[in-house]
Every structure is written in C-alpha cells, then in structure tokens.
C-alpha cells in the first residue's frame, strides 16, 4: 500500500495540483516572509524616528529648564511622556553628566552613567537613545531614553498572524482555482488516455479522441487520431484480404476435393473395370495353355508364359491401386491396438511365404497405438514386406522395429540391412509408380510406399526414410499420440 504514496503512482490530477499548490505555497511563504522582514524593518525605522522626534522635542523643551536647573519644570516636561506606554525610562543629564531629572516606569532603574559608553539603538528588546540637549550649538545636557519593543513585537506578531491568515486564504482560493484550472491540462490527457484504453480493451478502432485546442495536447490528440485512422484502414484492408483469401481457399478446397473425388472415383472405376478384360486375358491364356499347348512350339509357349506373367503383374498393379484408393476413401475408425502383436503376425506370415534365408527379426514389445488398425496393418505390412524384399540378397536378414515417444508423437523405426537407396532420390520414394530399383532386380508395383504414405498422412502423421546405399534403410513413421477411442 505504501508504494501508492510514491510519486509515479500518483494520478496526473494530483501531480498537477501538487505542483501548482507547492509553487504557490512557496511563493506565498516567500512573499509573507519578505513582507514580514520589510515590515519589521520599516516599523523599527518608524519607531526609531518617532523616538528621535520625541527626544528632539523633549530636548528642545527641556533646554531652558536644564540651564536654569529647574527640576520641577523638567519633571513636568518629562511627566508628559508617561502617556507613552512603551517609554520605560527617560533621564536628563546636565552638561557634566549628573542626573537632573528622571522618569521611570514600573521598576525603579537608576539612570546610566553617560560618561561611559552605553549600548545605543536596538538591543535586548529595548531601544536606547541619547539625545544631546543643545542651546546655541552648545551642548548643555543630554537626554537618555529607553523604549521597550513590546509594541514592535506585538505589531509584528499581529502582522505575521494577518499575513499568514491572508496567505492561507489565498492558498485556499488557489486550491479552488487550481482544481478548476488543472482540468484544462489534465482533461485532454485523461480523455486521450481513456480513449487509448478503450481502444485497447474493445479493439474498436472507430473510436476517436476528442481534440481541443491547437497546443501540443491538441496536436497529440489529432496525431493519435491519425494513427488510429491508419490502424483502422490497415485493419480493414487486412480483414478484406483475409476474407478474400478465405473465399479463395474455400473455392480452391472445394474444387480440389471435387477433383480428388473425381480422381478417386475414376481410379476406382478404372481399376475395377480393368479387371474384367484382364480376367479374360488371364482366363483365355490359361485355357490356351491347357488346351492348345501341344500345338505351340517353344517360342509360342514362351510368349504365352510372358502374357500370363504380365497379366498377373497387371492384376497386382490393379490390386495395389484399389488398396491405395481404398485407404484414401475409407473413413477412419480409430481404436487402440497392440502394434507389436500386429507386427509379429505379419512377420510370421512373411516367414511362411519366403523362408530360404536365415532371418533375425527383433520387434520391440508392447507398443500400443491408437488408429485405424486395418489401414495401419496395410501400411506396416508394406514396410515389412519392403524390408524383407530388399534384404533378400544378403547372407542374413536382420530387421529391427523400435518405438520412441516424445511429447505428443510416437516414432516407429523399421530398420533393415538390405540394399538401401540413394538419398538423392528420397523425394521420389513415396510417390506412386516411382521406383528406385529395376523390376528385374526387385519385383514391385511402385504403389506400396505411396499407400503407406497415404495411410500415415490420413492419421495426421509423417513418414520419412534414411539410408546409405548397400547399408540398409530405416523408415520412420511418426504418429500423433491420440487419446483412446478416437
């Protein structure tokens, strides 16, 4: 709480008020102080001159009485001073310094010996003066007068009281005036700051700050408004361009999905429709081989065998295309399943089919995934088949499947010790009908990895591969970890 007493936490109004009032207080105090000092001086001077006049008159009056040594007359002259309360003592000395007559108020004080130097002027709350009494330029005696300064003190006290009272009144008036006047400065600033805050909170750039006057505050206000105007225009432009972009994207997306659908429908129907003539070729080829084999020479038999092999390969291609089309169109049905078990089954199937090579397959156990298990089976079957196929020419087949999870992703690595591929062509790896090896080396349709890629992508995952030629390849499948049942 005490922090709020610090200067920088003060509101602007309070600061302005404080500055105005402290300046005026300083001014008033200085004026009062100087007035008091001046008044004190002038009152002292006035007192001094009054006392000198009194002493002068007295000296003139008492000159005759002094030379004629008429004490009664002197006493009556001096007694006229009794009415002046501040005069404490008056002494009349003759020419040789003897006391001729004295007037004392209250306390009886003996007249000083004027043959010795006495302190004169203002000292110790008294004013003392020694006036020579002259007659024809001859000093015939002296008049000694002491006045106390009670009147001066009382006057100055009254003056201080009045000065301070007037000062306080003026200050009170100034508080009122400052309260009114600080608005002239603070209100445009407060309005500006309020407008800025509203704009920041409501994000409404149509709000404008009120502009008053042509001074710096007025210019600040109009500059602020200009800036807001610019922001508003830019905002509008951004929104417009965003809207148009959205429209374009929407347009393109719908066009694209339409094209995709058409393409899928086309590829499905093509694949499906191609089967009929292929089945005819295959069927009649078989019939030809079985029924007319005797009529064909070796060349004819060879041609027939080639036709049948080609039709089998084409059947495989069509199957692959149908699978690819299916994994593209089929809706995903996510569920949790044990990948390790699935991979184990696939391995056993592969082992049953191709057995001649000693094979060492290591699969990390208890890897669980959430996804469409039918599609993912197709994907991993393809990957394992590839590993199997491309390591067929090694002395011993070594396949390793491991999984690592990080953040929201699980990465499954399928590593083989096969021929590998050239990393320069890695970009063509997952594109349909692109093959990095000649069909004579390794059989294949060129659709397998495209299908894998399609499945993984439909699971919002990613697939990539690393390899060195002759040192095996590793395929990484990176899948998001989905919550169970989705």
Partner 1 sequence: MSSNTAGGYFLPLLKYFVALLLCAGLLSAQASVRSEYEVKAAFLYNFTRFISWTEQPDNKAALKVCVIGDTPFGNLLQPLAGRTSQGRALEITNPDNIAAKQGCNVVFVSESESRNLPAIIAQAEAQKIITISDIPNFVDSGGIIGYVKQGNVIRFEINLLAANAVGLNINSRLLELASRVIR
In the complex, the residues that contact partner 1 under the rule CB under 8 A are 61, 63-65, 67-70, 73, 135-136
Query: Nearest Cα to 62, choosing from 89, 94, 98, 96?
Result: 94
Complex with partner 1: residue 66 or 449, whichever CB lies closer: 66
Residue 97 CB, nearest distance to partner 1 (Å)? 14
What secondary structure letter does DSSP report for 295?
G
Residue 345: which of 314, 369, 380 has the closest Cα? Answer: 380
Q: Shortest approach of partner 1 to residue 52 CB, angstroms? A: 20
3-state secondary structure of 114: coil
The nearer residue to partner 1, 67 or 151, going by C-beta atoms, is 67
CB of 159 to partner 1, least distance (A): 40
Q: Which of 133, 199 has the CB closer to partner 1?
A: 133
Where are the extended beta strands (E) located within 125-197?
126-135, 138-148
Residue placing its CB nearer to partner 1 in the complex, 95 or 160:
95
Over its C-alpha atoms, the chain yields an Rg (Å, rounded) of 60
Nearer CB in complex with partner 1: 63/323: 63
Asked if 445 and 316 touch (Cβ cutoff 8 Å), the reply is: yes
Structure tokens at 318: 């069509």
CB of 135 to partner 1, least distance (A): 6
In three-state secondary structure terms, 440 is coil
| End-to-end Cα separation, the chain, in angstroms | 53
Give the separation between CA 76 and CA 436, rounded to whole angstroms.
147
Q: In the bound complex, what is the minimum distance in angstroms from residue 116's beta carbon to partner 1?
A: 21
Cα–Cα distance between 427 and 456 in angstroms, integer? 16
Q: Which is nearer to partner 1, 67 or 84 (CB)?
A: 67
CB of 101 to partner 1, least distance (A): 14
- Residue from 445, 414, 419 nearest 432 by CA: 445
Distance, CA of 383 to CA of 238 (rounded, Å)? 47
Q: How far is the CB of 64 from partner 1 (least distance, A)?
A: 4
Residue 136 or 290: the one with the smaller Cβ distance to partner 1 is 136
- Nearer residue to partner 1 within complex by CB, 23 or 79: 79
Block residue for tokens 């197709």: 378
Q: In whole angstroms, what is the distance from residue 213 CA to residue 187 CA?
A: 12
Residue 391 and residue 418 in contact, taking contact as beta carbons nearer than 8 Å? yes
Dihedral angle of Cα 132, 136, 137, 142, to the nearest 10 degrees: -10
Residue that the structure tokens 């191709």 belong to: 354
State the sign of the Cα–Cα–Cα–Cα dihedral 370, 374, 379, 381: positive
CB of 136 vs partner 1, minimal distance in Å: 6
Contact (Cβ atoms closer than 8 angstroms) between residue 20 and residue 182: yes
Q: CB-hemisphere CA count at 13 Å for 309?
A: 7
Q: Is the Cβ of residue 61 or residue 347 nearer to partner 1 in the bound state?
A: 61
Residue 69 or 202: which CB sits closer to partner 1? 69
Minimum CB–partner distance for residue 72 and partner 1 (Å): 9
Tell me the pairing of strands 359-363 and 397-406: parallel
CA-to-CA dists, residue 248 to 100, 121, 252, 262, 299, angstroms: 126, 105, 6, 21, 61
Q: How far is the CB of 127 from partner 1 (least distance, A)?
A: 27
Q: How far is the CB of 84 from partner 1 (least distance, A)?
A: 21
DSSP state letter for 426:
G
Treating both helix axes as pointing N-terminal to C-terminal, what angle do 298-329 and 373-390 enclose, rounded to 10 degrees? 140
CA dihedral 279, 285, 291, 292 (to 10 degrees): 160
Q: Cβ closer to partner 1: 61 or 445?
A: 61
In terms of CB distance, is 77 or 361 closer to partner 1? 77
Distance of closest approach, residue 30 Cβ to partner 1, in angstroms: 52
Take residue 327 and report the two structure tokens written for it: 């994994």
């Amino acid at each position: 709480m005490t922090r709020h007493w610090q200067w920088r936490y003060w509101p602007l109004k309070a600061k302005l008020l404080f500055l105005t009032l402290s300046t005026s207080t300083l001014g008033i105090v200085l004026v009062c102080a100087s007035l008091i000092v001046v008044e004190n001086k002038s009152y002292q001077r006035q007192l001094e001159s009054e006392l000198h006049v009194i002493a002068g008159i007295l000296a003139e009056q008492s000159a005759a009485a002094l030379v004629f040594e008429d004490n009664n007359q002197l006493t009556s002259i001096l007694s006229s001073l009794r009415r002046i309360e501040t005069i404490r003592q008056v002494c009349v000395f003759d020419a040789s310094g003897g006391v001729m007559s004295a007037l004392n108020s209250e306390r009886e004080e003996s007249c000083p010996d004027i043959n010795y130097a006495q302190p004169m002027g203002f000292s110790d709350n008294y004013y003392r003066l020694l006036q020579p009494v002259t007659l024809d330029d001859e000093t015939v005696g002296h008049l000694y007068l002491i006045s106390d300064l009670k009147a001066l003190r009382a006057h100055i006290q009254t003056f201080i009281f009045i000065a301070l009272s007037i000062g306080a009144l003026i200050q009170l008036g100034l508080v009122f005036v400052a309260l009114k006047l600080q608005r002239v400065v603070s209100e445009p600033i407060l309005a500006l700051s309020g407008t800025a805050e509203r704009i920041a909170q409501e994000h409404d750039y149509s709000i404008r700050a009120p502009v008053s006057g042509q001074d710096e505050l007025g210019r600040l206000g109009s500059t602020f408004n200009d800036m807001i105007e610019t922001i508003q225009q830019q905002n509008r432009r951004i929104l417009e361009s965003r809207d148009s972009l959205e429209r374009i994207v929407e347009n393109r997306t719908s066009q694209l999905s339409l094209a995709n659908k058409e393409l899928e429908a086309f590829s499905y129907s093509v694949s499906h429709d191609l089967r009929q003539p292929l089945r005819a070729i295959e069927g009649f080829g078989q019939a030809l081989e079985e029924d007319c084999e005797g009529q064909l020479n070796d060349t004819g038999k060879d041609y027939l065998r080639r036709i049948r092999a080609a039709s089998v390969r084409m059947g495989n291609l069509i199957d692959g295309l149908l699978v690819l089309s299916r994994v593209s169109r089929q809706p995903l049905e996510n569920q949790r399943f044990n990948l390790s078990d699935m991979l184990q089954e696939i391995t056993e199937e592969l082992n049953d089919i191709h057995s001649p090579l000693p094979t060492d397959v290591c699969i990390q156990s208890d890897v669980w995934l959430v996804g469409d298990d039918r599609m993912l089976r197709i994907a991993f079957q393809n990957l394992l088949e590839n590993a199997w196929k491309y390591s067929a020419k090694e002395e011993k087949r070594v396949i390793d499947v491991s999984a690592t999870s990080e953040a929201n992703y699980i990465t499954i690595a399928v590593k083989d010790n096969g021929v590998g591929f050239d990393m320069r062509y890695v970009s063509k790896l997952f594109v349909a009908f692109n093959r990095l090896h000649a069909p004579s080396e390794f059989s294949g349709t060129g659709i397998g990895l495209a299908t894998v890629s399609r499945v993984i992508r439909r699971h919002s995952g990613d697939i990539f591969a690393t390899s060195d030629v002759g040192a095996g390849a590793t395929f990484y499948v990176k899948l998001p970890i989905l919550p169970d049942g989705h």
